[in-house]
Amino acid sequence: MAGHDNVNRTPLFFGVFVLLVLLTLASFWVANAEGLFALQQTKWQVMMGISAAKASLVVLFFMHFWWERSWKYLLTLPTLLMAVILVVALIPDILHRRATYSDTRLNHAAAPAVVTEGNPESP
């Protein structure tokens, strides 16, 4: 690790901690804000974006990836590649899962959600 030079990083870590607290409060505010977003899905997307930002800060600073040189690429690129392959491989299964249902299961399965433009309360 390149960060072995005796640099005091306490203020940086404290600043990241404060930023994590602020992002947590922002996520809580988004989750409990009524009428802020027209669709529930938008609220969840914003909360997931905030969570991804928090996870990135933890990985970069508290797991010291910010100061790593080449190891971070060696560790993260194969993981990212496998995640993309897994998501792409599961897309056909998710899109066509109802096609292979038996009649009994099809009768008891939840109907696909239909979102209408003018109705923000629709699932």
Q: Give per-residue pLDDT as tens, 52-102.
A: 999 999 988 888 878 877 777 777 888 899 999 999 999 888 888 778 888
User: Is residue 111 a part of any domain in this protein?
Assistant: no
Average pLDDT, the chain: 84
User: Is residue 22 a part of any domain in this protein?
Assistant: yes
**What confidence score (pLDDT) does residue 101 get?**
83
Domain range for 69? 2-104
User: Is residue 120 a part of any domain in this protein?
Assistant: no
User: Is residue 112 a part of any domain in this protein?
Assistant: no
Count structural domains, the chain: 1
Structure letter (DSSP) for residue 34: S
Cβ distance 15 to 39 under 8 Å? no
**What confidence score (pLDDT) does residue 46 get?**
94
Query: 1 versus 117: which is more confidently predicted?
Result: 117
**What confidence score (pLDDT) does residue 68 get?**
77
Lowest mean pLDDT among 1-10, 25-34, 53-62, 85-94: 1-10
pLDDT at 48 over 90: yes
Question: Residues 83-96: pLDDT tens digits?
Answer: 999 999 998 888 88
Nearest to 1 by CA among 85, 88, 64: 64
pLDDT at 35 over 90: no
H runs (alpha helix) in 33-101: 40-57, 71-95
User: Is residue 119 a part of any domain in this protein?
Assistant: no
User: Is residue 13 a part of any domain in this protein?
Assistant: yes
